[in-house]
Amino acid sequence: MAAIQAPNPGLSRGTVKLLIDLIEIKLGCIEVYDRDDMRDVRALERARAEMLSLLGRAVPEPAVVRLAGAGDATEERRRIRGAA
């Protein structure tokens, strides 16, 4: 039996750049509520690193993950303190 080889995707440079943009948009919008969401963030970061390596670019630091509701609670606390 012959070994199965992964097909060469043959993606153009423009397509790879577009995919990187889409991944970064998704990373900027995602709100982490649980472990599944965090798993998705890690998968997106790996995909971004892979796409950047196809372009020969250095892989930047992982994106800052926004925990769902964390900013809202901070804003709420600031408003309460300011009103008191």
Residue 63: what are its φ and ψ, rounded to 5°?
Answer: -65, 155
- Whether the predicted pLDDT of 66 surpasses 80: no
Phi, psi of 67, rounded to the nearest 5 degrees:
-75, 135
38 in Cβ contact with 65 (< 8 Å)? yes
Q: For residue 54, give Cα distances in angstroms to 9, 13, 48.
A: 11, 9, 10
User: Above 70 in pLDDT, residue 23?
Assistant: yes
CA 65 – CA 68 distance, rounded (Å): 9
Q: Comparing C-alpha atoms, which of 31, 28, 33, 34 is closest to residue 62?
A: 28
pLDDT tens track for 31-58: 999 999 999 999 999 999 999 999 988 7
DSSP state of 32: B
